[in-house]
DNA sequence: TTGTATGCGTTATCAG
DNA sequence: CTGATAACGCATACAA
């Protein structure tokens, strides 16, 4: 017995089966029009030699990679994992793979990933991109989630902000505060949520003074600090709309620490509806983003593009939805002191 | 002006700069020994043409990919994301990329990912593998986290179980229950935790009757159901050790629903120390796995291997650690009825 | 310091 | 239905 080569190639298998390289290649790629006999024989040779295709060579030769790339700032954000969950179900159903790359929000890294995937993947999913990278991709199709581009999937954050305000207003609140998200130049989610919130209050004739708006930076700590400041005001708010669930949880903890009962003395509305929202006590009323559906839609659009099919629509905008749980209730009646 | 080609190659850049392909290649790969003048000129040509390397061609020609592959069942498990967080910091510091592939716990898919990465990546990180895939990789180095293989990183689950028991015993508990994790053939984490727990109780001469051990399946629902069953026993336990934080949260909710106060009437210990453990109220006492450190160590080992360096040790086993928060306390004194 | 020749493993194309 | 040939874009080895 001679030693097998370290890396088995198509050529090796061909020799082993007594056919040409192309026949082996055709068997591997399930090309139609081959005699079952040779197909069988080649298959055996493949198994016996332990052959595995060389992905790089396949790509270089113009073959399909059956691979979709994902570029995302981080993967430990629930926002991202839920989207990926939706996308991967669609992609795997179609028999393709998902390769996920993180950028740590660094535009330079994002660009590197883009150049890599451009040649490696059949298409690319861009989640919350930090910069405009569309030109980099050349002929490789790209779908963007929560960002700009020729094909996008997004959620109506302004409407989400409005929903939060309307819910609190309908409960009878009039002194309502906002814990703002992180404001950055490249993203507008925090700004959109605040704008929608403000608009709805204005429409109802309810005032939102500046001292009732605090930065929460989307973090638990930020939410807790902001809520502490709000609750120790001479005239504290009876309700708070936090720009995401994490900062809402922080607000929940601040209330607990200060002996303010939720929802009896304070109503809190979050945003996102990630896991912790339903696990928290009291369970959080929040604005739900259909993250999984967004991931699915993005994947479907991308699959269309990779197949040369024009997608039904280039831009999909999903509505946000109110999820009422246990952290909101009507405000306490003002105690009227009888003279 | 003539239209630039759809995909710019080294050749194009070389023509543009009036040099040969190799000079351009050398500039790109920062080879030493070139006149600054040509380097400068080539660089300009690269920028002007918008050239990006073709990763596939580079690999095929024997170049390094600067890419490490990750194969993991899922990415929306906190257990996994924390590990990846640790690994990516190390990898990016070394100037490489991390490409993450999910398998949905399907051995067939796992195998496909393996064959893909084998030719694409310089090395592969296998997280909680569902099957033994080491042979598939040939010369590509592999490091396994929470699984078997020539190079592994793991945590001492048996010791973790012991820690949980010892903590509860030291508080004075003697009627202690266990909510078990999911028992599968390919993994031994749940079994190890239970074994360590049992051993420590035994060593202390404390009995663990069968009816005080319930399946929790690592889920919130499972934990809640198990705790409900335990707490409605004629003689309910004064403490529960849940095999992970999720099922511990479920137990917390069950206690709340039944009006059992934690930690006054019931102590609960979780396992993992993921985010929800510290966010829960009361904050969860739990057994911490150094997930980030595990990811870092695995990445370092893998980097060594890709560079042909023999790692300091082939198998690293991290200790678990007890994190005491607010969900554990001494048991209530038995009410002694005076005659 | 720069250029030339060669081959990596695969698939498309077209001939048999 | 199967086989020969020519790319694909790059880097290694060596020559100039």
> CA–CA distance from B131 to each of B126, B197, B239 (Å)?
10, 27, 36
Residue B328 domain flag: no
Q: Report the run of H or E that residue A22 belongs to, with start and end.
A: helix A21-28
pLDDT at residue B1 is higher than 70? no
Confidence of residue B336 (pLDDT cuts 50, 70, 90): very low
The domain of A30 spans: 10-60
Smallest CA-to-CA distance from B319 within B296, B287, B295, B297 is with B287
In angstroms, the CA of A267 and the C1' of C4 are apart by 76
Bridge partners, residue A183, by sequence: none
Contact (CB, 8 A) for B271 and B164: yes
Nucleotides of D under 7 A from a protein CB: 1-5, 7-13
pLDDT at residue B4 is higher than 80? no
- Give pLDDT, residue A77: 83
- Give pLDDT, residue B204: 97
pLDDT at residue B163 is higher than 50? yes
Residue A334 domain flag: no
Residue A5 domain flag: no
Tell me the C-alpha distance between A295 and A318, whole Å.
Answer: 11
Mean pLDDT of B64-79: 86
A52:B136 CB<8 A: yes
Q: Which CATH number goes with the domain that contains A29?
A: 1.10.260.40
Strand extents, DSSP E, chain A = 67-72, 97-102, 123-127, 142-145, 152-155, 176-180, 213-215, 239-242, 267-272, 285-288, 315-318, 321-323
**Which one of A56, A66, A73 makes the best mutation probe of the B interface by having the most chain B beta carbons within 10 Å?**
A56
Residue B295 domain flag: yes
**Which one of B113, B116, B254 makes the best mutation probe of the A interface by having the most chain A beta carbons within 10 Å?**
B116
Q: Report the run of H or E that residue A246 belongs to, with start and end.
A: helix A245-257
Q: Which nucleotide is nearest to A21 (CA to C1')?
A: D3
Q: Are residues B309 and B161 part of one domain?
A: no
CA distance A49 to chain B (A): 12
pLDDT digits over B181-222, tens only? 998 877 889 999 999 999 999 999 999 999 999 999 999 999
Task: Give chain A's domain count.
Answer: 3
Q: Are residues A101 and A79 part of one domain?
A: yes
Smallest CA-to-CA distance from B155 within B130, B188, B182 is with B188
pLDDT at residue B16 is higher than 90? no
- The reply to whether A257 touches chain B by the CB within 8 Å rule is no
Name the residue with higher pLDDT: B255 or B279.
B255
> 3-state secondary structure string, chain B?
CCCCCCCCCHHHHHHHHCCCHHHHHHHHCCCCCCCHHHHHHHHHHHHHHCCCCCHHHHHHCCCCCCEEEEEECCCCCHHHHHHHHHHHHHHHHCCCEEEEEECCCCHHHHHHHHHHHHHHCCEEEEECCCCCCHHHHCCCCEEEECCCCCCEEEECHHHHHHHHHHHHHHCCCCCEEEEECCCCCCCCHHHHHHHHHHHHHHHCCCCCCHHHEEECCCCHHHHHHHHHHHHCCCCCCCEEEECCHHHHHHHHHHHHHCCCCCCCCCEEEEEECCHHHHHCCCCCEEEECCHHHHHHHHHHHHHHHHCCCCCCCCEEEECCEEECCCCCCCCCCCCCCCC
Bridge partners, residue B127, by sequence: B145
Torsion angles phi and psi, residue A214, rounded to 5: -130, 155
Q: Are residues B111 and B75 part of one domain?
A: yes
Sheet holding B123-127, edge to edge: A315-318, A152-155, A142-145, A123-127, A67-72, A97-102, B97-102, B67-72, B123-127, B142-145, B152-155, B315-318
Task: Find the Cα–Cα–Cα–Cα dihedral A119, A122, A128, A129, rounded to 10°.
Answer: 20
- Give pLDDT, residue B307: 85
In angstroms, the CA of B23 and the C1' of D16 are apart by 15
- Give pLDDT, residue A42: 87
Smallest CA-to-CA distance from B125 within B107, B94, B151, B90 is with B151
Q: Are residues B282 and B206 part of one domain?
A: yes
Q: Are residues A296 and A148 part of one domain?
A: yes
Protein residue closest via CA to C1' of D7: A61
Write out residues in chain A with pLDDT < 50, as ranges.
1-3, 335-339
Name the residue with higher pLDDT: A33 or B2.
A33
Token pair in block for residue A17: 């089966």
Q: Are residues A170 and A128 part of one domain?
A: no
CA distance B250 to chain A (A): 9
Name the residue with higher pLDDT: B31 or A174.
A174
Give, rounded to a whole angstrom, the gap between the first and last alpha carbons of chain A.
107
- Give pLDDT, residue B32: 77
Residue B265 domain flag: yes
- Give pLDDT, residue A236: 96
Give, rounded to a whole angstrom, the gap between the first and last alpha carbons of chain B.
107
Buried b (16+ CB within 10 A) or exposed e, B127-149: bbbbeebbebbeebbbbbbbbeb
pTM listed for this prediction: 0.85
Q: Are residues B276 and B164 part of one domain?
A: yes
A75:B100 CB<8 A: yes
B279:A67 CB<8 A: no
Give A-chain residues touching B256 at CB under 8 angstroms: 281
Token pair in block for residue A182: 């992180």
- Give pLDDT, residue B2: 42
A 146-205 → B contacts, CB under 8 A: none
pLDDT digits over B52-70, tens only? 888 888 888 877 778 899 9
CA distance A185 to chain B (A): 25
pLDDT digits over B229-238, tens only? 999 999 999 9
Q: Are residues A277 and A175 part of one domain?
A: yes
Tell me the C-alpha distance between B287 and A95, whole Å.
Answer: 39
Residue B333 domain flag: no
Tell me the C-alpha distance between A145 and A301, whole Å.
Answer: 11
Q: Which CATH number goes with the domain that contains B277?
A: 3.40.50.2300
Give B-chain residues touching A116 at CB under 8 angstroms: 55, 67, 97
Q: Are residues B197 and B136 part of one domain?
A: no
**Which one of A100, A109, A114, A122 makes the best mutation probe of the B interface by having the most chain B beta carbons within 10 Å?**
A100
- Give pLDDT, residue B6: 66
Protein residue closest via CA to C1' of D2: A23
- The reply to whether A93 touches chain B by the CB within 8 Å rule is no
Residue A322 domain flag: no
Q: Is the CB of B187 under 7 A from strand C?
A: no
Whole-number mean pLDDT of chain B?
89
Q: Are residues A267 and A166 part of one domain?
A: yes
Name the residue with higher pLDDT: B263 or A338.
B263
Q: Are residues A276 and A162 part of one domain?
A: yes
Instruction: Find the closest chain B residue to A280 by CA distance.
Output: B280
Smallest CA-to-CA distance from B159 within B205, B210, B199, B212 is with B199
* Strand, coil or helix: A260: coil
Contact (CB, 8 A) for B179 and B241: yes
Q: How many CB atoms lie within 10 A of CB A4?
A: 12
Q: Are residues B53 and B80 part of one domain?
A: no
Residue A326 domain flag: no
pLDDT digits over B82-108, tens only? 999 999 999 988 888 888 998 888 888
In angstroms, the CA of A245 and the C1' of D3 are apart by 63
């Amino acid at each position: 017995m001679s030693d097998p080569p370290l890396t088995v190639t198509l050529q090796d298998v061909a020799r082993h089966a007594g056919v040409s390289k192309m026949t082996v290649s055709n068997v591997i790629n399930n090309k139609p029009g081959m005699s079952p006999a040779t197909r069988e024989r080649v298959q055996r040779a493949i198994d016996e030699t332990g052959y595995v295709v060389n992905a790089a060579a396949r790509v270089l030769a113009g073959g399909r990679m059956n691979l979709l790339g994902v570029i995302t700032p981080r993967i430990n954000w629930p926002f991202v994992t839920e989207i990926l969950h939706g996308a991967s179900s669609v992609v795997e159903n179609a028999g393709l793979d998902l390769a996920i790359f993180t950028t740590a929000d660094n535009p330079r890294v994002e660009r590197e990933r883009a150049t890599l995937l451009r040649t490696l993947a059949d298409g690319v999913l861009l989640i919350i991109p930090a910069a405009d990278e569309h030109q980099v991709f050349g002929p490789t199709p790209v779908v963007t989630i929560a960002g700009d581009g020729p094909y996008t999937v997004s959620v109506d954050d302004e409407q989400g902000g409005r929903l939060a305000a309307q819910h609190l207003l309908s409960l009878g609140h009039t002194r309502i505060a906002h814990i703002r998200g992180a404001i950055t130049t490249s993203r507008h989610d925090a700004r959109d949520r605040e704008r929608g919130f403000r608009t709805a209050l204005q429409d109802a004739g309810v005032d939102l003074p500046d001292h009732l708006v605090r930065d929460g930076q989307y973090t638990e700590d930020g939410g807790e600090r902001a809520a502490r400041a709000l609750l120790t005001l001479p005239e504290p708010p009876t309700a708070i709309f936090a720009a995401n669930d994490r900062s809402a949880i922080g607000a929940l903890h601040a209330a607990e620490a200060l002996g303010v009962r939720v929802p009896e003395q304070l109503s809190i509305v979050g945003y996102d509806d990630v896991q912790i929202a339903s696990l928290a006590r009291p369970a959080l009323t929040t604005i739900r983003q259909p993250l999984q559906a967004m991931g699915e839609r993005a994947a479907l659009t991308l699959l269309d593009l990779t197949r040369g099919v024009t997608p039904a629509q280039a831009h999909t905008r999903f509505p946000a939805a109110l999820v009422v749980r246990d952290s909101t209730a009507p405000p306490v009646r003002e105690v009227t002191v009888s003279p």
